[in-house]
Structure 1
Amino acid sequence: MSFLLSPEFWIALSQIILINIVLSGDNAVVIAMASRSLPPAQQKKAILFGSVGAIVLRLILTFFAVYLLTLPYLKLVGAALLLWIGIGLMKGEGDEENLAGHSSLAAAIKTIVVADLVMSLDNVIGVAAAAKGNIPLLVFGLVISIPLIIFGSTLILKLMGRFPIIITLGAGLLGWVAGDMAMSDPAIAGWAANQHALHNAVPALGAMFVVAAGKWLASRQQPEPANQPAT
Structure 2
Amino acid sequence: MAVLTHPDFWLALAQIILINIVLSGDNAVVIAMASRSLAPAQQKQAILFGSVGAIVLRVVLTFFAVYLLTLPYLKLVGAVLLLWIGVGLLKGGDADDELQGHASLGAAIKTIVVADLVMSLDNVVGVAAAAKGNVTLLVLGLVISIPLIIFGSTLLLKLMERLPVIVTLGAGLLGWVAGEMAVSDPAIADWAQQRHVLHTLVPALGAIGVVLVGKWLTSRQPAPGADPTAA
The bucket for the TM-score relative to the shorter chain is 0.5 to 0.7
Are 1:174 and 2:174 counterparts?
Answer: yes
Amino acid at match of 1:116: N
Gaps of 5+ in 2: 37-46, 101-110
> How many matched pairs?
198
CA contact (8 A) 2:25 2:154 kept: no
CA contact (8 A) 1:83 1:174 kept: yes
When Rg is computed on C-alpha atoms for both structures, the one with the higher figure is 1
- 1:53 corresponds in structure 2 to 54
Amino acid at match of 1:126: N
* Pairwise CA RMSD: 4.3
1:63-102 pair list within 5 angstroms: 65=66, 67-92=67-92, 99-102=96-99
Deviation at 1:22, TM superposition (A): 4.5
1:87-166 pair list within 5 angstroms: 87-92=87-92, 99-102=96-99, 109=116, 112-122=119-129, 123=131, 125-127=133-135, 144-150=143-149, 153=153, 156-166=156-166
Cα displacement string for residues 142-167 of structure 1 (whole angstroms, at most 9, x for unaligned residues): 87444354366555434212211212
CA gap 1:102/1:118 in 2 versus in 1, 3 angstroms: same
Deviation at 1:71, TM superposition (A): 1.1
CA contact (8 A) 2:34 2:99 kept: no
Gaps of 5+ in 1: 1-10, 131-137
TM-score (norm 2): 0.64
CA distance in 2, matches of 1:148, 1:91: 27
Deviation at 1:102, TM superposition (A): 1.8
Amino acid at match of 1:202: V
- 1:25 corresponds in structure 2 to 17
CA distance in 1, matches of 2:161, 2:137: 38
Deviation at 1:192, TM superposition (A): 0.9
CA contact (8 A) 1:62 1:125 kept: no
Amino acid at match of 1:58: V
CA contact (8 A) 1:27 1:115 kept: no
TM-score (norm 1): 0.64
CA contact (8 A) 1:59 1:142 kept: no
Q: Equivalent pairs: percent with the same residue?
A: 43
